[in-house]
Amino acid sequence: MSVASPAMEIRNPADPMLPRPAVIQAIRPEAAGIATYSLAFVDPADRDAYHFRPGQFNMLYLPGVGEVAISLSSDPAESQVLGHTVRYAGNVTRAIGRLKVGDMLGVRGPYGSHWPLEDAVGKNLIIVAGGIGLPPLRPVILSILSQRDAFGRVLLLYGARTPADLLYTREFGRWREAGIEVNISVDVADESWRGKVGVVPQLFYFVRMEHQNTLVLTCGPEIMMRFVIYEALARRIPKNAIYISMERNMKCAVGFCGHCQYGPNFICKQGPVFNYAAIEPFFGKEDF
């Protein structure tokens, strides 16, 4: 091998960092400062070529402002229009919040690993989400709805800070009808709230589930996921049956920029969805 001829094929690779223009088809407010954007690629060829799996994410680009990694929150079976539930928190997402239906942005993706839906066939599922952690799990729920019989019991344990912060509440009825056991709690109740009060991991106290044949999928703040793991392990659910979705600074989404490293992993490549057994040595390590 010569320096002039690397072992890797390098002729004319496609540019994975080039966004494709997409148009906002609908904006659905979900909660204060959170809305779901339905995007469609301008070019029909882009629309047809695009397929994603639950848990994957796109990079949304606003010229001059920047790019942000947002999980797909829509049904993977419907990839012509792509749903992204966005919280207006950072530089780019706040700018997205000023866009209207018909406005354009750049989209590239899908990137990253996905929830192990194939492995879950025939098994029970405990889906645990906190706050803005539910959108990356919504494609899992929507996929289950279309093939409900393929799975055993499906529990959703979901919590938010206040009742007003709960996402997708109008869909809960349909999910319940399809046999998903939806358990909700809020950290802080208001007068109207009749449900449970407490942090999400406490919803485990109400769970009676066999441990041998159950997968846990969780997404939310790291501290929440730490307690979810604790509760799951306490119920003898094995480490390799627990999947978590991680967040780090992401710039390129294709493993070039180095920002999202997490020990031996790149969140954008091996993640964002990890099997807990694979990242246990690093999970929760301070400033890691």
Partner 1 sequence: MPPNLPRVSASVALPKPALQQVFDNLRAAGFTLVGPTVRDGTIVLDEIARLDDLPVGWTDEQEPGRYRLKKTREAQYFNYGVGPHAWKQFLHPSCLRLFSVEKSNGSWVFRPPEEPPPRYAFVGVRACDVAAIGILDRVLLGGEFRDPHYARRRENVFALVVNCARVNPTCFCTSMKTGPRATTGFDLALTELPEIFLVAVGSDAGSEMLRDTPWEAATAFDLGRAARAMQDVERQVERQLKTDDLPRLLYDNLEHPHWDEVATRCLSCANCTLVCPTCFCTTVVDTSDLRGTKGERIRLADSCFNRDFSHVFGGNIRPNIRSRYRQWLSHKLASWIDQFGTSGCVGCGRCITWCPVGIEITEEVNALRGKAAK
Partner 2 sequence: MTSDARPKLAVHKFASCDGCQLALLSLEDELLSLVGEVEVAYFLEASSTTIEGPYDVALVEGSITTAHDAERIQAVRKDAKYLIAIGACATAGGIQALRNWKDLDDFIRAVYATPAFIHSLEKSTPISSHVAVDFQLNGCPINKYQLLEVITALLQGRVPHLASHAVCMECKRRGTVCITVAQGIPCLGPLTHAGCGAICPAYNRGCYGCFGPMETPNPDSLTSHLRKTGVPADELVRLLRGFTGFAEAFRSASEKLEKTAP
Using rule CB under 8 A, residue 17 touches partner 1 = yes
Cβ-count burial 244-278 (b if 16+ within 10 Å, e if not)? bbbbeebbbbbeeeeebbbeebbbbebbbbbbbeb
How many angstroms separate the CA atoms of 55 and 267, rounded?
12
Using rule CB under 8 A, residue 98 touches partner 2 = yes
Min separation Cβ 130 and partner 1, Å: 13
The region of 25-33, 102-110, 134-142, 184-192 touching partner 1 under the rule CB under 8 A is 102-110
User: Pick from partner 1, partner 2, none: which does 6 bind, CB < 5 to 8 A by kind?
Assistant: partner 1
Using rule CB under 8 A, residue 286 touches partner 2 = no
Distances in whole angstroms, Cα of residue 210 to Cα of each of 44, 117, 219: 46, 19, 22
Site size toward partner 1 (CB under 8 A) is 56
From 13, 64, 102, 122, residue interacting with partner 2 (rule: CB under 8 A):
64
Phi, psi of 245 (to 5 degrees): -110, 125
User: Pick from partner 2, partner 1, none: which does 2 bind, CB < 5 to 8 A by kind?
Assistant: partner 1
Residue of 89, 47, 61 lying closest to 253 (CA atoms): 61
How many angstroms separate the CA atoms of 233 and 230, rounded?
5
Using rule CB under 8 A, residue 66 touches partner 2 = yes
Min separation Cβ 155 and partner 1, Å: 28
How many angstroms separate the CA atoms of 184 and 195, rounded?
7
Give whichever of 57 and 175 is closer to partner 1, judged by the CB atom. 57
The region of 16-24, 41-49, 58-66, 234-242 touching partner 2 under the rule CB under 8 A is 58-66
Interface map 167-206 toward partner 1 (x if CB under 8 A):
----------------------------------------
Tokens of 165: 């912060």
Using rule CB under 8 A, residue 51 touches partner 1 = no
Beta strands in 47-136 (DSSP E): 57-62, 66-71, 82-87, 104-111, 124-130
